[in-house]
A and B are shown apart, each in its own frame.
Chain A
Amino acid sequence: MSFLNYLVSGLSLGSIYAIIALGYTMVYGIAKMLNFAHGDVIMVGSYVCFFAMMRFELPPVIGVLLAVLVCTILGIIIEKLAYKPLRSAPSLAVLITAIGVSYFLQNSALLLWTSNPKVFNSIVGKGSVNIGALSISYVTLLTVGICVVIMIVLTTFINTTKMGKAMRAVSEDKGAAQLMGIDVNKTISMTFAIGSGLAAIAGVLLCSAYPTLMPTTGSMPGIKAFTAAVFGGIGSIPGAFLGGILLGVIENFAKAYISTEFSDAIVFGVLIIVLLVKPAGLLGKQVNEKV
């Protein structure tokens, strides 16, 4: 029974990684850039929801919607101000800019909200469902559920809508997409908007499950989720989902059955092995460079 409990808490942790990884992977897949500020957008989303719920005593649903709205706008602004001017710059410049944006957001949060940790009250209450000795908290159920829904909606969106088609086209070849009459800038902005909106949801769920909120709250889960995205194959949406879930489960099993001291070493060890065997990640597409 303890095995199932470890599995459930691994799934819960993994789903949060997965939602964050979806944002990473979407932006990478379409804009071909690593948005390292993603983890900090998560933090901003959590703070917005925290203040809406705790200070202004708004219902959790409004808090979440507000967080999504603020993060979406923030994502668009970051893209316009920091990344758009670098559209034709080498990818290293964009990467460094992203790290800069990440620090900017963290330090702004430090100034605005101070570093004193705040305790986030779960949006769904503390209870849990008990099936025999197995107990699954509401947050876990909600997180896993939302994660699956987001993955399905996102896949459908990209595969069936016109905007989704435009996104895939931009991902294949920016120049050719533009020649076909696709507004590349608008498409990339849209990608950032969706990615950042997802970050807000991830933030709220992250803080509901692990209720300490600080300006650095998003950075570690951000890095883990990035790992998950690479693990599953960066650019692939089902890959991010699978990578996130596996990372969470492996991490928890490593803690439970091998050693809490080595859990991270084991997680990253598995990552290295996977990348050695499949360099594009579990579900990533191996694209051959045409010379």
Chain B
Amino acid sequence: MKKVIALVMALAMVFSFAACGNESGSAETVKIGCTGPLTGPAAIYGQAVKNAAEIAVAEINAKGGVQFEFKMEDDSHDPEKAENAYNALKDWGMDVMMGTVTSAPAEVTAANAYADRYFYLTPSASSTNVTKGKDNVFQMCFTDPNQGSGAATYIAEHDLADNIAVIWKNDDSYSTGIRDTFVAKAAELGLNIVDEETFTDATATDFTVQIQKCQEAGADLVFLPMYYTPASLIFAQAETAGYNPTWFGVDGMDGILALEGFDTSLAEGVIVLTPYSADDTSEMNQNFVKAYQEKANDIPNQFAADAYDCIYAIYQAVEKAGVKAGMKNDEICTKMVEAFTTMSFDGLTGASMTWAADGTVSKSPNAVVIQEGTYVGL
């Protein structure tokens, strides 16, 4: 038995030395690391971010100037795995972190990046906990409070509903954050919330009771601050129950049309609050959509656009701050933070975006509606 243990230990040592050997990568590129769900229930987001970031990096490298290298590690939308993924990126020799894609794991990686002094820009982790109290963490997407109050404002301004119900996931910081500000703003605007229903990871299959209670409460609009997987179940079960209110989603709803086997007619008329729609006619967007279709054979969603913007915003800040490959990460971090809080950036998801010192971006959400299987601007 002792021999076996000794052998295993010896092998482990060999492998750990081998792993050390990988650390010395090329020093001519600025290494951008990212973690996100490439597998798991939110995989569509991670895949979109990966595709779009790779497109942006290839475009920037083709220009000849600063050269980027992009690496994405899978975190399956799991905070523990995100921690491992973050460490793997550190070992790889990351210079700048393009965030974590989803909120709950991003809270972990952002805290680490703050402690280790990596410049951190997340495309889509919208929880305020990600940026709170961290000078080097920035968001490309609008924050959850913005989404919640934005949704309430939109509903009030367009007079979409008399009676509103909310179904939210109360074990998820993303969903809870949006719901809290939505409810607060709705009260302020005099919107009538007639029913609130919750679910958790463990009960995310059966929504018949929640749907029935919304129906009985007479809600003509149901607000769904959640990701698209449970939303797809809600649509299917509401149809079976013969309930057909106006559905109102936030950026987590993006991706529902890409679900394999999903009957897109179920999502007909769903309103989604998002800063991006692929049918925008600007030249920059048209080029991006074309490149994305060539790469992924799919229409880019908001996450893809956010990631594309992230790489370009990092590029702009790198140029502005004079960051060079081979600098220490804390030095890069200080320079980037200074550049970021003083620059203005034009991207796919908004024009003249600026960042406040607390890491939040100034841009306004737009609403799109799903019609015949695509997003149409309102």
Residues of chain A whose beta carbon lies under 8 Å from any beta carbon of chain B: 2, 5-6, 9, 12-13, 50, 54, 110, 114-121, 126, 128, 135, 137, 206, 209-212, 214, 216, 220-221, 251-252, 255-256, 260-261, 263-264
In this complex, how many residues of chain B approach chain A with their Cβ under 8 Å: the count is 37
* Contact A256 B259, beta carbon cutoff 8 Å: no
Residues of B within 8 A of A5 (CB): 212
CA distance A201 to B358 in the complex (A): 53
* Contact A220 B202, beta carbon cutoff 8 Å: yes
A-B residue pairs in contact (CB < 8 Å), sample of 25: A2-B216, A6-B209, A9-B212, A13-B206, A50-B261, A115-B37, A115-B76, A116-B44, A118-B260, A119-B261, A121-B261, A126-B239, A126-B240, A128-B240, A137-B240, A212-B233, A216-B41, A255-B209, A256-B209, A256-B212, A256-B213, A260-B209, A260-B210, A261-B198, A264-B200
Residues of B within 8 A of A212 (CB): 205, 229, 232-233
Within the complex, which residue of B41, B205, B210, B241 is in contact with A255, where a contact is CB–CB below 8 Å? B210
Residues of A within 8 A of B216 (CB): 2
Residue in A2, A118, A220, A260 with the greatest tally of chain B CB atoms within 10 Å:
A260
Query: Does B161 count as interface, using CB distance less than 8 angstroms?
Result: no
Query: Does B197 count as interface, using CB distance less than 8 angstroms?
Result: yes
Contact with A along B195-217 (1 / 0, CB 8 A): 00111111101101110110010
CA distance A261 to B196 in the complex (A): 10
Given A117-B41, A211-B236: A264 and B261 interface contact (C-beta under 8 Å): no
CA distance A162 to B235 in the complex (A): 49
Residues of B within 8 A of A221 (CB): 205
CA distance A48 to B261 in the complex (A): 15
* Contact B202 A6, beta carbon cutoff 8 Å: no
Query: Does B43 count as interface, using CB distance less than 8 angstroms?
Result: yes
Query: Does B322 count as interface, using CB distance less than 8 angstroms?
Result: no
Would you list the 4 A-B pairs with minimal beta carbon distance, nearest first?
A119-B261, A115-B39, A9-B208, A210-B205
Interface residues of B in 146-190 (CB under 8 A from A): 170
Within the complex, which residue of B37, B39, B233 is in contact with A211, where a contact is CB–CB below 8 Å? B233
Residues of A within 8 A of B170 (CB): 261
Query: Does B263 count as interface, using CB distance less than 8 angstroms?
Result: yes
Given A116-B44, A121-B261, A126-B240: A2 and B212 interface contact (C-beta under 8 Å): yes
Query: Does B262 count as interface, using CB distance less than 8 angstroms?
Result: yes
* Contact A264 B203, beta carbon cutoff 8 Å: yes
Interface residues of B in 305-354 (CB under 8 A from A): none
Closest beta carbon of chain A to B97's beta carbon, Å: 23
Residues of B within 8 A of A256 (CB): 209, 212-213
CA distance A135 to B215 in the complex (A): 14
Chain A's closest residue to B204 (CB) is A220
Beyond A206-B205, A210-B206, A221-B205, 20 extra complex contacts between A and B, CB < 8 Å: A9-B212, A50-B261, A110-B39, A116-B43, A117-B41, A117-B229, A118-B260, A120-B261, A121-B261, A126-B240, A137-B240, A209-B206, A210-B233, A210-B237, A211-B232, A211-B233, A214-B229, A252-B206, A260-B210, A264-B200
* Contact B261 A114, beta carbon cutoff 8 Å: no
CA distance A95 to B168 in the complex (A): 36
* Contact B261 A115, beta carbon cutoff 8 Å: no
Chain A's closest residue to B200 (CB) is A264
Given A114-B39, A116-B44: A264 and B202 interface contact (C-beta under 8 Å): yes
Residues of B within 8 A of A114 (CB): 39, 43
Within the complex, which residue of B76, B240, B260 is in contact with A116, where a contact is CB–CB below 8 Å? B260
Query: Does B40 count as interface, using CB distance less than 8 angstroms?
Result: yes
Given A118-B261, A126-B240: A220 and B205 interface contact (C-beta under 8 Å): yes
Residues of A within 8 A of B133 (CB): none
CA distance A251 to B200 in the complex (A): 13
Interface residues of B in 23-59 (CB under 8 A from A): 37, 39-41, 43-44
* Contact B259 A117, beta carbon cutoff 8 Å: yes
Residues of B within 8 A of A260 (CB): 197-199, 203, 209-210
CA distance A9 to B197 in the complex (A): 17
Residue in B205, B209, B259 with the greatest tally of chain A CB atoms within 10 Å:
B209
Residues of A within 8 A of B44 (CB): 116
CA distance A29 to B82 in the complex (A): 41
CA distance A256 to B213 in the complex (A): 7
CA distance A260 to B169 in the complex (A): 10
CA distance A5 to B136 in the complex (A): 52
Residues of B within 8 A of A12 (CB): 208
Given A5-B212, A214-B41, A261-B170: A119 and B259 interface contact (C-beta under 8 Å): yes
Closest beta carbon of chain B to A207's beta carbon, Å: 10
Residues of B within 8 A of A6 (CB): 209, 212
CA distance A9 to B202 in the complex (A): 17
Chain A's closest residue to B197 (CB) is A260
Chain A's closest residue to B237 (CB) is A210
CA distance A13 to B207 in the complex (A): 11
Chain B's closest residue to A210 (CB) is B205
* Contact A135 B209, beta carbon cutoff 8 Å: no
CA distance A114 to B201 in the complex (A): 20
